[in-house]
Amino acid sequence: MLDFISLALLLLTSLLLIFFNYRRKIAFWKRQNVDLLGVWYMLGKSRRQHLFEILDELYRQMKVEGKPCKVIETSLTTSVILQDHTAITEVLTSKFEKFPERGFYVNNQDPLMANLVRYKYDLWKPLRRKLAPAFTPAKLKYMFPTMTQVGERFVKIVTDELERSADGILEMHDWCKRFSMDVIGTIAFGIEVNCLEDGQNQFKTRMEKALVEHFRPLTDQICVKYPRLMNLLNFKYHSRQSIEFFGRLVQDTVEYREKYKVRRNDFLDLLLECRDNEDEFQLTMDMIVGHVFIFFIGGYESSSTALCQALYELAKKPELQEKARMEVQQVVTSQKVSYENLKSLKYVKQVIMETLRKYPIVPAMLRLCRESCSLNTKSGPLEIPEGATLMLPIYSIHNDEDFYPNPKEFLPERFEESSEKQRPTHTFLTFGDGPRNCIAFGFGVMELLYALSTLLVNFRFTLSEKSPKVIEFDRNTKYIASLSSGIYLKVEKI
Ligand code: HEM
């Protein structure tokens, strides 16, 4: 047993070590003429603003001051908010090997944390290679008919709802979420979620709870520094109910497939192949649960939010809506959109890209520095120490006048081929960039293109007295820009 004096000495030594470590780190940044922000800067601001608004204020200041970055240094964590475009491009592409992780914490006792988004480089690399074939154009084409079955139910259920509604005003975000949940459930895992029929079903409520539990920016930074301690304390992010719910769901589905020898060539089959393959990387059952969970998150929140934001922008600009609808009407037959139609829907695709530019669902990408290195910036080299977390502000880049003039305006023409060619590369970052970009971006775009054109050819959307003046975001969801309230629109059947 330690006596009181030994304990006091131990505490004092630890505090002194933390203090000198802090001084050393501050001196490192000062030598490079980098501005430091107070420890409480983010915490104070985050009560009033969303993460993307705070980062955007800083980004603009840095541009005016000609500074490549600002840093928040505590002795425990280092956050570098990067503004310089050359440096951002290097982090994502040519210097990827130094920044191949997001710096998220993983506790193997919490299976929902064991997934591609969170994995360290060594586990991520073979798994990404193994899962990428699930998203090739051939696979997307194969998935398409299943998506159209959900789309047809979507149209029918919204039509029925309109007949019951006295004023024709519907909360479209909820409808888009129900559609997205059913799509990802059936396409990825062969699970009939039936959220369209029952918006309060257990699946949707569980998913929304688990989503809030999953994203904890500050906790992640601390946990990732002390993973052994956190694992020793068995620190989990998800509640017992969430872990049990997704665990049981996967277990039951896998048992069913094995018993009846069902093969659907979907994401789950691919994950099971990785479990059974003995000669290379093998997945455990917990890892399969973690991936089913992250694919649900990816397919649910991002696609549904983007779809209803596109509807909202088109309701605000009826002339753009009419132009998009006319394009769809010219290519489809019997109001049904086929896979072959998609490549002709050029304007609808521009509407989607502009929506994803204006409202990137992930406001900032994170990259952990695995090995100290130097980045090139407009004002010279910038040394980044090992262990620093870089924040790459997607929202600010998408709202930078130099890349997108008049950025607050919704202008689908920005994504005409000729305009795209004039923009510098790595300025559209909604799906991230480089080797660690969104594995499912092709799937995301296909789903949005199909869903938006199907809705446009069946319904007309206008603003109502209940529609928000601008889209507001929930400050409690830091890593993702979730909507803070419903998007009510007046809907008419065509
Ligand atoms: C509109 C739809 C979507 C958007 C905007 C989106 C956005 C993103 C972003 C910004 C990232 C981080 C990229 C980076 O750090 O460079 C990401 C990663 C990821 N997304 Fe998506 N996503 C979408 C749809 C989906 C879907 C449908 C799925 C699953 C079926 C999915 C699964 C993933 C996974 C697994 C990762 C981690 C990739 C890795 O680390 O290798 N996403 N996504």
Higher pLDDT, 186 or 98: 98
Say if residues 369 and 327 touch (Cβ distance below 8 Å): no
- The DSSP 8-state label assigned to residue 473 in this structure reads B
Q: What share of the chain in percent tops pLDDT 70?
A: 98
Its pTM stands at 0.92
Ligand 1 probe mutation, 123, 214, 431, most atoms within 8 A of CB: 431
| Euclidean distance between the first and the last CA atom of the chain, given in angstroms as a whole number | 79
Distance in Å, CA 215 to ligand 1 centroid: 14
- Which atom, in ligand 1's list, is nearest to the CA of 295? 29
- Tell whether the model's pLDDT for residue 1 goes beyond 60: no
Mean pLDDT of 425-447: 95
439 lines ligand 1 (CB under 6 A): yes
444 lines ligand 1 (CB under 6 A): yes
Say if residues 298 and 438 touch (Cβ distance below 8 Å): yes
- Tell whether the model's pLDDT for residue 313 goes beyond 60: yes
- Tell whether the model's pLDDT for residue 368 goes beyond 60: yes
- Specify the residue for token string 């929902």: 112
Question: Please, which contacts does 332-340 make with residues 24 or more away whose CB atoms are closer than 8 Å?
Answer: 332/453, 332/457, 335/155, 335/454, 335/457, 335/458, 336/148, 336/152, 336/454, 337/148, 337/151, 337/450, 337/453, 337/454, 337/457, 338/148, 339/141, 339/144, 339/145
Least confident piece of the model among 126-140, 167-181, 454-468: 126-140
- Which atom, in ligand 1's list, is nearest to the CA of 361? 5
Ligand 1 probe mutation, 92, 117, 438, 480, most atoms within 8 A of CB: 438
306 lines ligand 1 (CB under 6 A): yes
Q: Per DSSP, which regions of 331-418 are E strands?
A: 365-368, 373-377, 380-384, 389-392
457 lines ligand 1 (CB under 6 A): no
Q: What pLDDT, on a 0 to 100 scale, did the predictor assign at position 441?
A: 94
- Specify the residue for token string 């399969």: 288
- Tell whether the model's pLDDT for residue 161 goes beyond 90: yes
**pLDDT (tens digit per residue) in 51-105:** 889 999 999 999 999 999 999 988 778 999 999 999 999 999 999 999 999 988 8
List the structure tokens of 111: 């299976």
Say if residues 156 and 458 touch (Cβ distance below 8 Å): no
Return left, alpha or beta for 432; rule: phi > 0 is left, psi -120 to 50 is alpha, else beta: left
CA dist., res. 320 & res. 317, Å (int): 6
Amino acid in the structure at residue 343: K
Residue nearest to atom 19 of ligand 1 (CA): 438
- Which atom, in ligand 1's list, is nearest to the CA of 394? 10
Residues in the chain: 494
Least confident piece of the model among 81-95, 106-120, 337-351, 352-366: 106-120
Coil, helix or strand for 323?
A: helix
What's the Rg (C-alpha) of the chain?
Answer: 24
Higher pLDDT, 483 or 348: 348
Q: Which of 124, 178, 146 has the alpha carbon at shortest distance from 486?
A: 178
> Starting at the edge strand that comes first in sequence, how are the strands of the sheet with 169-171 ordered?
169-171, 488-493, 459-463
Handedness of CA 330, 331, 333, 336 (dihedral sign): negative
Distance in Å, CA 360 to ligand 1 centroid: 12
Mean pLDDT of 394-402: 97
Higher pLDDT, 275 or 347: 347
Q: What pLDDT, on a 0 to 100 scale, did the predictor assign at position 279?
A: 65
Handedness of CA 56, 62, 64, 68 (dihedral sign): negative
Q: Band of the pLDDT at 18, cuts 50, 70, 90?
A: confident
Distance in Å, CA 189 to ligand 1 centroid: 17
CA dist., res. 406 & res. 401, Å (int): 6
Q: What pLDDT, on a 0 to 100 scale, did the predictor assign at position 207?
A: 81
Coil, helix or strand for 489?
A: strand
Distance in Å, CA 211 to ligand 1 centroid: 14
Bridge partners of 336, per DSSP, are 333
List the structure tokens of 167: 């004023």
440 lines ligand 1 (CB under 6 A): yes
362 lines ligand 1 (CB under 6 A): yes
CA dist., res. 490 & res. 335, Å (int): 20
Question: How would DSSP label each residue in 113-176?
Answer: G-STTT--HHHHHHHHHHHGGGGSHHHHHHHHHHHHHHHHHHHHHHHHHHHH-SS-EEEHHHHH
CA dist., res. 262 & res. 256, Å (int): 8
Q: Per DSSP, which regions of 282-328 are E strands?
A: none
**pLDDT (tens digit per residue) in 211-266:** 778 777 667 767 777 777 777 777 778 888 888 998 998 999 999 888 888 887 77
- Tell whether the model's pLDDT for residue 444 goes beyond 90: yes
CA dist., res. 393 & res. 443, Å (int): 24
309 lines ligand 1 (CB under 6 A): no
303 lines ligand 1 (CB under 6 A): yes
Does 308 carry a binding-site annotation? no
140 lines ligand 1 (CB under 6 A): no
Distance in Å, CA 7 to ligand 1 centroid: 47
Q: Which of 484, 448, 479 has the alpha carbon at shortest distance from 176?
A: 448
When the pLDDT of each residue in the chain is averaged and rounded to a whole number, the result is 90
283 lines ligand 1 (CB under 6 A): no
List the structure tokens of 379: 């004002």
Q: Band of the pLDDT at 2, cuts 50, 70, 90?
A: low
- Tell whether the model's pLDDT for residue 392 goes beyond 90: yes
Higher pLDDT, 142 or 477: 142
Helices (H) and strands (E) in the chain, counts: 19, 10
